[in-house]
Chain A
């Protein structure tokens, strides 16, 4: 694979703060993004992830802070002199220009020769698998094609940084899944430092080298997808990524107890404050046979069983009344052998999957 056809640049965000009135859109944010990295800003709407992207592109002026691309300070540079590619959420393709004119626009601004523009436009359209679409009008394209044109236009002038603002949110699920893989491949091929904004955790987990989870204008955790999922650092990240149930944990002498069950964990838990136990549906097992080592076992009563195609969801009520969700794969006859609503069930959570957090958010 011809890695890094374009040179890429590291991005360094330092102590950036942006307020709207007395609301903090960005609260003293610092991030270092490595050269050639695919970094995703993930968060709920209004979390500040888009604001941060707009600061990178130059469309939002922060109150204070620093932004460096490589060695150069960019924070006061206007957007048209930053030389970063950007894919907008609604694509922002110029309706009065054809596909080729759209893609050639940044090259015309750079006063490139006509023949060279033509060649680069064709090349770029080829890269996004739209060769031969140059003469089409924008309103003749499907959503997926518009997405590709927007991408071609963002990479045609070989920027060293590429920004994407929820570029796949308008596509249907099948197309979105395919585009995620394609974007990933394209990133590997072109090697630009890429900052991607999404509120879709699966998209973030699928595509990113690292993910920055943002909430209330602050970075809650910055880590690889696997670390983020397996070792969330706080309650917000644990709650936002995946579908977890939280159980209140009580201190029982030296040990801990949740839902009337003594629990153990292979990971350290906070020393003080009230605690919560996180339980992910797919990490909970339905136990059969003898009591196992290093597994927390919760007796429960099945309240509902839902068939969802590739997996099932089993809801069970614990002794303290909390309802837990358990997810498992639906293999041939496995589903029919599952306990039915009203029946008793033993749920197990390995010590390795037992994560305990402080109850305080942040």
Chain B
């Protein structure tokens, strides 16, 4: 580089100053992230390696391996997360597709109704489901009146209730990115497909669906990862029959006051989440390299 040209040192200093100014402006945010993210997570790691006697120990992790109940809890957590994600895809994808095909004003109205639950308290919505789904609740009453089933069904305080509640809470997280991806698909692609001889169904599967994949993957990941650490809804609607990692963490602290065990569970959950995201990101990058799903 011509470091001795006219004004070279001055220009170099200007460039450096500009960078420093940028750093200076963002430093409060950086400090905040450090304070509320990096330090607590570090603390979590530290506590998870402290045994009951206050010295360094692996006992919190050993317990997890030794006791069968932990394996079961992790399996249930993944099961619930996968099922919720799957149901969200089955319900959310067609809904997003439908909304994306509507004229702008109607579509906006529909998106508001999709987002409305977002602005209502999570706890309120969860208890609302409890009221609706209980033995003498609205759902059972109506179903019996309509003759769908005869005896009141048990649809809450079990897996069914948990899934109903979780899908309801998670649906917007799937619909938003999917809808965004669908809106970004140029309608001319579908016209081109039709012009080249593809009927509506073929055009959908060969052109529209592959182009909406990035949104679907992003939405599914979001739902899945949120589900892994979810607490309120499964705790209320599961009725103690569906035990997830988050609930075990709570009981470790509230019942047994064992911060070490709770921290170890937190660390494992975090690790599993990171691994999931890592696998997904590799898959995503591959997707981009081949130019989308095929």
Contact = CB atoms under 8 A, between A and B. Distances in A.
Q: Is the interface of B mostly helix, strand, loop or mixed?
A: helix
B195 A84 contact: yes
Contacts of B197: 80-81, 83, 106, 109-110, 157
A71 B189 CA distance: 30
B64 to A, nearest CB: 43
Nearest to A108: B206
Interface string B207-244: 10011000000000000000000000000000000000
B196 interface: yes
A86 B189 CA distance: 12
A84 B196 CA distance: 8
B62 interface: no
A93 B207 CA distance: 11
A106 B186 contact: no
Contacts of B194: 58-59, 78-80
A82 B193 CA distance: 12
Contact of A95 (B198, B200, B202, B291): B291
A81 B198 CA distance: 8
A289 B206 CA distance: 73
A94 B189 contact: yes
Interface centre among B192, B193, B198, B203 (most CB of A within 10 A): B192
B294 interface: yes
B196 A138 contact: no
Contact of A57 (B193, B195, B202, B211): B195
A59 B192 CA distance: 10
B292 A153 contact: no
Nearest to B294: A96
Interface in B133-162: none
Contacts of A83: 197
Interface string B146-189: 00000000000000000000000000000000000000001011
B78 to A, nearest CB: 30
A59 B194 CA distance: 9
Contact of B211 (A79, A81, A96): A96
A97 interface: yes
A96 B186 contact: no
Interface in B252-292: 291-292
B199 interface: yes
Nearest to A88: B188
A186 to B, nearest CB: 18
B291 A88 contact: no
Given A78-B194, A157-B196, A157-B197, A95 B206 contact: no
B293 interface: yes
Nearest to B192: A92
B291 A97 contact: yes
B192 A80 contact: no
B294 A92 contact: no
Contacts of A94: 189, 192-193, 207, 211
B75 interface: no
Interface in A91-149: 92-98, 101, 105-106, 109-110, 137-139
B21 interface: no
A110 B199 CA distance: 11
A88 B191 contact: yes
Nearest to A139: B291
A69 to B, nearest CB: 14
Interface in A258-298: none
B202 A109 contact: yes
Nearest to A97: B291
A105 B196 contact: yes
Nearest to B287: A96
B188 A92 contact: yes
A90 interface: yes
Contacts of B291: 95-98, 137-139
Contacts of A88: 188, 191-192
Contacts of A90: 186, 188
A97 B294 contact: yes
A105 B188 contact: no
A86 B192 contact: yes
Nearest to B203: A80
Given A96-B211, A96-B291, A97-B294, A109 B198 contact: yes
Given A98-B291, A137-B291, A92 B198 contact: no
Nearest to A82: B195
A81 B199 CA distance: 8
B210 to A, nearest CB: 5
Contact of A80 (B188, B198, B211, B294): B198
Contacts of A82: 195
A82 B203 CA distance: 15
B196 to A, nearest CB: 4
Contacts of B211: 94-96
A59 B293 CA distance: 27
A155 to B, nearest CB: 11
Nearest to B190: A92
A92 B191 contact: yes
A94 B291 CA distance: 10
A120 to B, nearest CB: 13
Contact of B293 (A86, A96, A98, A157): A96
Given A96-B211, A96-B293, A110-B197, 7 more contacts: A59-B194, A80-B193, A92-B191, A95-B291, A98-B291, A105-B206, A157-B197
Identify the 10 closest CB pairs spanning chains A and B, nearest first. Answer: A96-B292, A92-B192, A106-B196, A92-B188, A79-B194, A109-B197, A80-B194, A86-B195, A96-B210, A137-B291
10 contacts: A57-B195, A58-B194, A58-B195, A80-B195, A82-B195, A94-B192, A96-B292, A105-B196, A105-B206, A110-B197
Interface of B: 186, 188-189, 191-200, 202-203, 206-207, 210-211, 291-294
